[in-house]
């Protein structure tokens, strides 16, 4: 099996190098305001947790990412509690004073949760301080302030649990996890509440109601992680002493907001707050239950782990299909909490990186192959790029200037109002202070009239002031009554709102219950679908097996049929030839008999007509006016000449003859020659020659008992065999014999003493043969 990946690391690779190649850029992205998802995938006990968390000596991705992040933001970190989570995956900014107040409240009421973990000087945190390479991100904006929040959740049996929530460890009951904060001692402990997934206004999925812990250093962050880690479900299996039984997700959230132009306070505008997150995911390993020795609860866990991983696989496959075909078929993220939570990442809201871990144990070969094949497919899925978060400092400055001008105007207005007030306050004086009222002289006509006029003036002034005051009083009274009315209406509205809120809360609770019910129904349906799909797959497998068997049996029967047809055709041809041969032999015999009878009849007629004389009968000397050697054609058995018509027809047919004439053949130059016109004459036939012919003629010569040359023409038919060769089947032999008539005469003389009848028969055969042949 050959698979290709962007990078491959062997077993000796250090955690540092792995971090440099894989995770460093994700911290860069985090600072730039982009989201990132980094997860480890592989079979059980292949090193996923080791890669993600690492050991004390070799810290993994998680401590290194935290270390790099805090190294980068130390100088520009915001005070604690300045950023406040809004419960809907967003943040808002509060003033430094409010933040200080909140800090004091938290210090007084430590049970208020979630609370920042104390600095734990454990061996682990100490060792992580010794991460010897202090990376720093250069994209830090000095005009912004940053804060880090962490949340830690696990997905167990397809339910999401908060690992940093207000859960207290129960010292009596094991397992420890599973107890809600218990205010009344002795109350029954309730199981942990699973969390729901929701989508925020930016279409990012988040765990609703999850605890977000603000951390100010790597140590604090890692302490929070350890706190959650203690609650995580880990169990001993045959393949891993500490096997993760759930998918764990640590979210590192970086919140940033710009400072005002004076560089003193954070701007409290929500649109300028950027919250990015890096999700570090340690997936539970896929496993075969038989191999892990899982049973009971473990087997249920394994089933859920495998099914959620299968859903992840299906979603990625569907995404790739959609990208390949340009289609937009629905990707079923909701089939598992794992894929539902990561939905936004796969839809382009961040970068996704997967580290595939392999266990080099031979026994894991098959499962490793599945893992690498999935990973190879997954890397072909393209996820859209997300935008960098950029703070528009110009617009911030402009806004700040506008705000400054506004504030200045407000201040000026207030100043004028104060002045007016002061002026009006001076207007309430009754006039000049009393002059000297001492009357020293009875003839003083100035002091008393002056006093009288002054008092008159004062009385007039007092009356005017009274009027004004009563007018102001009226205005105030009317304002007060309108304020009271307004307050009453506001009170009424408040009551209405409260009633409305109570109704809405009721409705919300009802909807919550419905959602839970529907979710559980959905789970049941999903499980049923899985069972059906499994059965369907089994049936499809059976069907394809049966089809394959049917096909093979069909091809077997076809082969057998062909074989039988060939055998039948061969046998039929053989039988036909045999029958023809026998018929021909019988015909020949019968014709010979007929001829003999005719001849005898003719001779008898002659004898009767000539009166027993032998004049009409040709003598051997008269008949044989031929050269010394005459060809005599006959079948190999001695006897009367045969009708050779059928043989001639065979020779004369328009077939493609191949004449095999060995180089030792003697030309007899007799009268009778075969009428065959061979297409090709060869001394030694090659397979090619035979392939080009339909008939085959072999000329064979030998010396007979009398010392004459006997020529045999062996005729055959060429068949093309099924395997591509040729086969010659010999069907006829034509024998050409030579006979010396003088020798025959001698023979007749020696036989002179035999009876006339016998002699006549012998003579007949000797001359009739020749005559028949010649005719």
Edge-first strand order for the sheet with 680-682 is 630-633, 726-739, 709-720, 695-703, 657-660, 680-682
Sequence-ordered alpha helix ranges (H) in 276-378:
289-292, 297-325, 337-346, 365-378
Element (H, E) at 331: none
Tokens representing 280 are 């570090």
List binders of ligand ATP among 342-401 (CB under 6 A): 357
E-strand spans in 687-774? 695-703, 709-720, 726-739
Among 49, 151, 246, 279, binds ligand ATP (CB under 6 A): 49
| 705 appears as a binding residue in the annotation | no
Least distance (Å) from ligand ATP to the CB of residue 223?
21
H/E stretch holding 93 reads strand 91-93
d(CA 761, CA 757): 6
Report phi then psi at 734, rounded to 5.
-110, 125
Q: How far is the CB of 380 from ligand ATP (least distance, A)?
A: 24
Q: CB of residue 202 vs ligand ATP: minimum separation in angstroms? A: 32
Burial grade of 199 (CB within 10 A; 0-12, 13-18, 19 or more): middle
| Residue 165 known to bind ligand | no
Of residues 111 through 130, those in contact with ligand ATP by CB under 6 A are none
What is the C-alpha to C-alpha distance for residues 612 and 597, in angstroms, rounded to an integer? 18
Name the minimum Å distance from CB 178 to ligand ATP: 20
CB of 364 to ligand ATP, least distance (A): 11
Collect all residues with Cβ–Cβ distance below 8 Å to 128 and sequence separation of at least 6: 59, 63, 66, 67, 218, 219, 222
C-beta of 253: minimal distance to ligand ATP in Å?
Answer: 25
Segment contacting ligand ATP (CB under 6 A): 44-52, 190-198, 224-232, 665-673?
44-52
Q: What is the DSSP string of 568-603?
A: HHHHHHHHHHHHHHHHHHHHHHHHHHHHHHHHHHHH
| Binding flag, residue 311, ligand ATP (CB under 6 A) | no
Among 34, 37, 45, 63, binds ligand ATP (CB under 6 A): 45
Of the listed pieces 46-54, 219-227, 314-322, 519-527, which binds ligand ATP according to CB under 6 A? Answer: 46-54
User: Which range in 38-46, 464-472, 487-495, 693-701 contacts ligand ATP by CB under 6 A?
Assistant: 38-46
Least gap, CB of 197 to ligand ATP (angstroms): 23
**609 annotated binding-site participant:** no
59 is an interface residue for ligand ATP by CB under 6 A: no
Looking at 9, 50, 135, 719, which residue binds ligand ATP (CB under 6 A)?
50
For 469, phi and psi rounded to 5 degrees?
-65, -45
The interface with ligand ATP within residues 234-263 (CB under 6 A) comprises 240, 242-244
How far is it, in rounded angstroms, from Cα 327 to Cα 325?
5
**β-bridge pairing 205-208 and 726-739:** unpaired
40 labelled binding-site residue? no
Which is nearer to ligand ATP, 53 or 141 (by Cβ)? 53
The DSSP bridge partners found for residue 39 are 281, 354
Cβ nearer to ligand ATP, comparing 44 with 279: 44
Spatial separation of the C-alpha atoms in residues 770 and 741, rounded to whole Å:
10
- Could you give the 3-state DSSP secondary structure of residue 97? helix
* Interaction between residue 54 and ligand ATP (CB under 6 A): no
For the bound state, the minimum distance from the C-beta of residue 369 to ligand ATP, rounded and expressed in Å, comes to 17
* Strand 680-682, strand 247-258: pairing: unpaired
- Nearest to ligand ATP of 29, 287 (CB atom): 287
Task: Considering only residues 5 through 34, tell me which ones interact with ligand ATP, judged by CB under 6 A.
Answer: 11
Shortest CB 15 distance to ligand ATP, Å: 8
| Three-class secondary structure of residue 644 per DSSP | coil
**Adjacent-strand bridge partners of 235:** 243
Phi, psi angle pair for 457, to nearest 5°: -60, -40
Question: Does position 42 bind ligand ATP by CB under 6 A?
Answer: yes
Cβ distance to ligand ATP smaller for residue 354 or 357 = 357
Closest contact distance (angstroms) between CB of 294 and ligand ATP is 11
Which residue's CB is nearer to ligand ATP, number 297 or number 329? 297
CB of 523 to ligand ATP, least distance (A): 23
Nearer Cβ to ligand ATP (82/283):
283
Instruction: Tell the residue number behind the tokens 């038989």, with chain if given.
Output: 290
Least Å distance, CB 298 to ligand ATP, is 11
Residues numbered 442 to 481 that lie near ligand ATP (CB under 6 A) are: none
The answer to whether 626 is a known ligand-binding residue is no
Binding span for ligand ATP by CB under 6 A among 37-45, 623-631, 684-692, 762-770:
37-45
Cα 389 to Cα 275: distance, rounded to the nearest angstrom: 9
Distance CA 617, CA 768 (A): 11
Nearer to ligand ATP, 47 or 350 (CB): 47
Please indicate if the annotation marks 42 as binding a ligand. Answer: yes
SS3 string, 396-433, reads HHHHHHHHHHHHHHHHHHHHHHHHHHHHHHHHCCCCCC
Are the C-beta atoms of residues 351 and 37 closer than 8 Å to each other?
Answer: yes
Spatial separation of the C-alpha atoms in residues 768 and 401, rounded to whole Å: 146
Q: Are 349 and 36 in contact (CB under 8 A)?
A: no
Tokens of 640: 């009367």
Site for ligand ATP, residues 277 to 306, rule: CB under 6 A: 284-285
- Give least dist CB 123 to ligand ATP, A: 16
Q: Which two tokens stand for residue 666?
A: 């003697």
CB closer to ligand ATP out of 40 and 644: 40
- To the question of whether residue 515 is assigned a binding role by annotation, the answer is no
The reply on whether position 44 binds ligand ATP by CB under 6 A is yes
Identity of the residue, 235 or 650, whose beta carbon is nearer to ligand ATP in the bound complex = 235
Q: Which of the stretches 48-56, 203-211, 578-586, 763-771 binds ligand ATP when contact is defined by CB under 6 A? A: 48-56
Select 309 or 713, whichever has its Cβ closest to ligand ATP: 309
Is 686 among the annotated ligand-binding positions? no
Site size toward ligand ATP, by CB under 6 A = 16
User: With the CA atoms of 341, 344, 348 and 349 taken in that order, what torsion angle do they form, in degrees rounded to the nearest 10?
Assistant: -100
State which residue, 46 or 212, has the beta carbon closest to ligand ATP. 46
Using an 8 Å Cβ cutoff, are 280 and 38 in contact?
A: yes
678: which DSSP letter?
A: -
Cβ distance 252 to 65 under 8 Å? Answer: yes
Q: Which stretch binds ligand ATP (CB under 6 A): 41-49, 144-152, 395-403, 716-724?
A: 41-49
Shorter beta-carbon distance to ligand ATP: residue 246 or 256: 246
Nearest distance, CB of residue 234 and ligand ATP, angstroms: 8
Nearer to ligand ATP, 284 or 624 (CB): 284
Tokens of 775: 């005719």
> CA-CA distances (angstroms) from residue 58 to 54, 88, 121, 479?
6, 37, 18, 74
- Minimal distance in Å, beta carbon 288 to ligand ATP? 12
User: Angle CA(409)–CA(413)–CA(417) in degrees, nearest 5?
Assistant: 170
* 559 token code pair: 């082969």
Residues counted in the chain: 775
> Can you tell me which of 47, 60, 631, 741 binds ligand ATP, judged by CB under 6 A?
47
- Between 244 and 644, name the residue whose CB sits nearer to ligand ATP: 244
Site track 604-643 with ligand ATP (rule: CB under 6 A), x = hit: ----------------------------------------
Binding site for ligand ATP (CB under 6 A): 11, 42, 44-50, 240, 242-244, 284-285, 357
Binding site, residues?
A: 42-49
Binding site for ATP, residues?
A: 42-49
């Amino acid at each position: 099996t050959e698979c290709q990946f962007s990078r491959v690391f062997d077993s000796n690779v250090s955690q540092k190098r792995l971090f440099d190649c894989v995770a460093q850029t994700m911290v860069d992205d985090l600072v730039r305001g982009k989201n990132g998802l980094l997860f480890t995938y592989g079979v059980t006990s292949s090193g996923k947790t080791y890669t993600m968390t690492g050991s004390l000596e070799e810290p993994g991705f998680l401590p290194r990412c935290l270390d790099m992040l805090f190294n980068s933001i130390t100088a520009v970190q915001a005070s604690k509690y300045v950023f406040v989570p809004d419960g809907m995956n967003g943040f808002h900014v509060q003033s430094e004073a409010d933040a200080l107040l909140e800090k004091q409240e938290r210090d007084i009421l430590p049970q208020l949760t979630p609370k920042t973990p104390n600095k734990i000087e454990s061996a682990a945190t100490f060792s992580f301080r010794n991460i010897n390479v202090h990376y720093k991100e250069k994209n830090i904006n000095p005009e912004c302030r940053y804060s880090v929040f962490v949340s830690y959740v696990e997905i167990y049996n397809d339910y999401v649990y908060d690992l940093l929530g207000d859960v207290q460890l129960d010292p009596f009951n094991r397992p420890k996890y599973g107890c809600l904060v218990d205010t009344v001692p002795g109350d029954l402990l309730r199981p942990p509440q699973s969390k729901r997934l929701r989508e925020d206004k930016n279409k990012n999925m988040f765990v609703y109601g999850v605890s977000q812990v603000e951390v100010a250093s790597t140590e604090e962050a890692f302490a929070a992680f350890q706190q959650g880690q203690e609650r995580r479900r880990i169990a001993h299996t045959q393949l891993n002493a500490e096997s993760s039984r759930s998918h764990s997700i640590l979210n590192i959230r970086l919140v940033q907001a710009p400072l005002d132009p004076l560089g003193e306070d954070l701007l409290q505008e929500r649109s300028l707050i950027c919250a990015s997150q890096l999700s570090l995911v340690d997936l539970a390993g896929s496993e075969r239950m038989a191999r892990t020795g899982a049973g009971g609860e473990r087997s249920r866990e394994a089933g859920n782990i495998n099914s959620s991983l299968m859903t992840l696989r299906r979603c990625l496959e569907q995404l790739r299909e959609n990208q390949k075909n340009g289609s937009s078929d629905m990707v079923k993220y909701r089939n598992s909490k794992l894929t539902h939570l990561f939905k936004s990442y796969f839809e382009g809201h961040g970068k996704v990186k997967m580290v595939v871990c392999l266990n080099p144990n031979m026994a894991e070969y098959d499962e490793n192959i599945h893992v690498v094949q999935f990973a190879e497919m997954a890397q072909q899925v393209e996820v859209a790029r997300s935008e960098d978060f950029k703070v528009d400092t110009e617009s911030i400055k402009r806004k700040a200037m506008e705000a400054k001008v506004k504030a200045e105007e407000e201040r000026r207005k207030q100043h004028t109002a104060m002045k007016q007030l002061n002026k009006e306050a001076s207007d309430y004086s009754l006039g000049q202070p009393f002059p000297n009222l001492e009357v020293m002289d009875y003839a003083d006509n100035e002091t008393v009239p002056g006093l009288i006029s002054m008092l008159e003036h004062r009385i007039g002034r007092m009356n005017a002031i009274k009027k004004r005051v009563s007018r102001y009083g009226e205005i105030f009274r009317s304002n007060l009554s309108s304020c009271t009315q307004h307050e009453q209406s506001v009170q009424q509205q408040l009551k209405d709102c409260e009633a409305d809120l109570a109704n809405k809360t009721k409705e919300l609770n009802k909807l919550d219950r419905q959602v839970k019910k529907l979710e559980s129904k959905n789970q049941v349906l999903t499980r049923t679908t899985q069972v059906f799909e499994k059965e369907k797959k089994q049936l499809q497998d059976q069907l394809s097996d049966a089809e394959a068997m049917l096909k093979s049996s069909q091809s077997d029967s076809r082969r057998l049929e062909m074989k039988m047809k060939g055998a039948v055709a061969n046998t039929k041809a053989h039988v036909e030839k045999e029958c023809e041969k026998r018929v021909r032999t019988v015909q020949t015999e019968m014709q010979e008999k007929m001829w003999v009878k005719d001849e005898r009849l003719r001779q008898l007629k002659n004898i009767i007509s000539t009166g027993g004389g032998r004049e009409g009968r040709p003598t051997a000397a008269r008949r044989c006016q031929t050269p010394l050697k005459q060809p005599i054609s006959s079948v190999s058995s001695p006897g009367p000449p045969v009708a050779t018509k059928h043989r001639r027809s065979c020779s004369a047919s328009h077939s493609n003859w191949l004449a095999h004439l060995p180089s030792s053949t003697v030309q007899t130059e007799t009268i009778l020659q075969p009428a065959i016109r061979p297409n090709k004459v060869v001394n030694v036939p090659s397979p090619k020659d035979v392939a080009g012919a339909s008939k085959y003629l072999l000329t064979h010569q030998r010396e007979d008992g009398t010392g004459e040359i006997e020529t045999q023409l062996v005729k055959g038919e060429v068949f093309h065999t099924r395997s591509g060769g040729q086969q010659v089947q010999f069907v006829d032999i034509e024998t050409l014999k030579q006979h010396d008539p003088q020798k025959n005469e001698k023979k007749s003389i020696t036989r002179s003493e035999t009876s006339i009848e016998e002699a006549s028969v012998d003579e007949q055969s000797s001359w009739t043969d020749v005559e028949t042949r010649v005719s």
